[in-house]
Structure 1
Amino acid sequence: MLLGQSIPWTDQRHCQTLIWMVIGLVCSECINLTKWTVYIHSRAVFAQSHQRRFSRWLHNPRINVQKLYSPLIAQALAAWGEPCITLIEDTSMLWDEYCLIRLSVQYRGRAVPLVWRVIRHGSSAVGVEVYQAMLKRASGLIPVGVSVCFLADRGFADTTLMRYLRDELHWHFRIRVKSNSWIHRAGKGWIQLNQYHLAWGEVVLLQGVRLTKTQVLDGVHLALARDPRSGQVWMVVSDESTSLQTFREYGERFQIEEELLDEKSNGFQLERSEIRSAPALSRLCLVMAVATLLLTVQGQQVVAAGK
């Protein structure tokens, strides 16, 4: 999978710069334009020349992030040949000023970026209208005939989103809901979820309920449980009948939390870039996405070779 062959570049120098940045990121294991220059071999003598080139690339409006990345991830999804895939959506705040909204595909223990958007926004809470087009774009990257399960935390517990996923995109979903959510059961009337007082280790499965009084969504299913060790209560809504398996499926979402933590502080250290521009941050996410995809594909090849 070669960048130059998979993407219709208008300027091959842009492709070369991206390759250099991916190499720098993988080798240095952090986001630092100065450190990346150590791994570059070219006719330029001074490291500052490379650093300026990286900065110009990140701020270049001609670099269309999704146009460049979409062919790569679509090719990977087709090659993986999975009959069912899990997509995980989450948000991450940068300096309490920018919000990264990202949808990733879960593959063999990793969360590989699929689509993303960076906006200037002082909160991780975003409305469906902000990322709906992003979901639509993601649906066009999924191979025909592949079943999709969408996972998200309480910040995405919106019936408008659930209806869009189920009725428009025809995706399944497992979304954690808030304890103050209202549900209606046939013959039982309205009740808030926090009125279910679960004992430690207790599980309650509710099928075919109506969710929320304001933007009503019919025909969804709920799985409620209190963790027997931590005592934490979990409430997950699904478009399919719920069971204990529902909690295991939702648990795959935690992989992206680890990925986002790695990018912010533990690994790539995204916030250390000090880049305060939404478009430039989105292009920086492209560098990270290509690096993540590259490492995932290489790991897959190593496993296939039995090494």
Structure 2
Amino acid sequence: MQLGKNEELRQWTRTVIEKMPHLSKSQAVVLAMWSFGIVMTQSSGLTTVSVFLAELLGKKENTVRQQLREWLRDAEDKTKTKDGRASLEVTSCFSPLLSWILCLWPESEKRLALAADASTLSDRFTVLAISVVYRGCGIPIAWKIVEATKPGSWKPHWQELFRYISQTVPADWFVIVTTDRGLYADWLYQQIKSIGWHPFMRINLQGLFQIQGENSWRPINSLVPEVGQSFQALVTCFKTNSIECTLLARHDEGYADP
């Protein structure tokens, strides 16, 4: 494929080919086109990106549009050609995406924060995603999209997502994994620990905890009743499905709950 004289797109395409070596060249080229077009137009709309790239590359809009559309289709929906169309399993991109980010990390900064989050798109889909946290932004590196109203546990999805990336981060790195209250589960806590990473999980105020070395159980919601208070201790958290952990609590101004 000729990319014309646009050096920025040419350079970006070379980068995508290098950093995503599991992709075929044609897959990497179209991924580069899509991502470059989205960034430059600040839109993910097919028409907007097609118009921009067609003008940039000196091609017909319909030609570019078809090329971009093919990337989005399922394998069985792709246009049939003599050499066939390779189907891409998106999970194969998770480890390379994380590796790409880590290669840009300062060599002396062997610390990483990941965030696991569930975001609902109206009443249609829920996106389960693991992202690299960097300067207040989350960069998704592994995800699963499920029907928002479909019954079933998210447990196998989260377990699978963590398995895909668990071997990508070097063993000597310090990694914390943050989750919000709605995602806490003892099995998820244990799985994160089994990788060698550190769970940093918000929990609801219900339940009891026991400070290590003590016999009494205390309610979690009694920890920091006043604004400005904080708490830290090694504890056994919850009587049912207990975990051994460090319990942190803080009540900041402007928040009704700790």
TM-score, normalised to structure 1, is 0.67
- Stretches of 4+ aligned residues off by more than 6 angstroms: none
1:215–1:9 CA distance, 2 compared to 1 (3 A): closer
Per the TM alignment, residue 129 of structure 1 is displaced from its structure 2 partner at its CA by: 2.6
Contact 1:209 1:221 (C-alpha < 8 Å) held by counterparts: yes
Residue 201 of structure 1 corresponds to: 228
Show the counterpart of 2:103. Answer: 78
Q: Retained in 1: the 8 A contact 2:114–2:175?
A: yes
Once the two structures are TM-superposed, the CA of residue 135 in structure 1 deviates from its matched residue by 0.8
Match of 2:26 in 1: 13
For 1:176, the equivalent position in structure 2 comes to 202
Task: Note if 1:224 corresponds to 2:237.
Answer: no
* Identity over aligned pairs, percent: 21
What SS does structure 1 have at the residue aligned with 2:172? Answer: coil
Q: Is the 8 A contact 2:98 2:141 kept in 1?
A: yes
DSSP 3-state at the match of 1:221: strand
Q: Could you say if the C-alpha distance between residues 130 and 181 of structure 1 is closer, same or farther in structure 2, counting changes exceeding 3 Å?
A: farther
Gaps of 5+ in 1: 235-307
Q: CA deviation at 1:213?
A: 2.2
Q: Which residue of 1 aligns with 2:187?
A: 160
Q: How many residues align?
A: 229
Q: 3-state DSSP class of the match of 2:217?
A: strand
Structure 1 distance, partners of 2:67, 2:242, is 52
Residue identity matched to 1:32: G
Give the equivalent residue in structure 2 for 1:281.
Answer: none
* One-letter code aligned to 1:24: G
Structure 1's 76 and 212: CA in aligned 2 closer, same or farther, altered over 3 A? Answer: same
Structure 1 residues 180 and 10: CA distance shift in structure 2, 3 A: closer
Q: CA deviation at 1:111?
A: 2.2
- In our comparison, the structure showing a higher alpha carbon Rg is 2
Matches of 1:160 and 1:74 in 2, distance apart?
26
Unaligned ranges ≥5, structure 2: 1-13, 76-86
Cα displacement (A) at 1:109: 4.0
Q: CA deviation at 1:43?
A: 6.5
Larger % of helix: which? 1
- Residue of structure 2 in register with 1:233 after alignment: 257
Partner of 2:78: none
Pair 1:130 & 2:143 matched:
no
Where does residue 254 of structure 1 map in the other structure? none
State the distance in 1 between where 2:183 and 2:215 align: 27
Choose from 170, 193, 208 the match for 1:143: 170
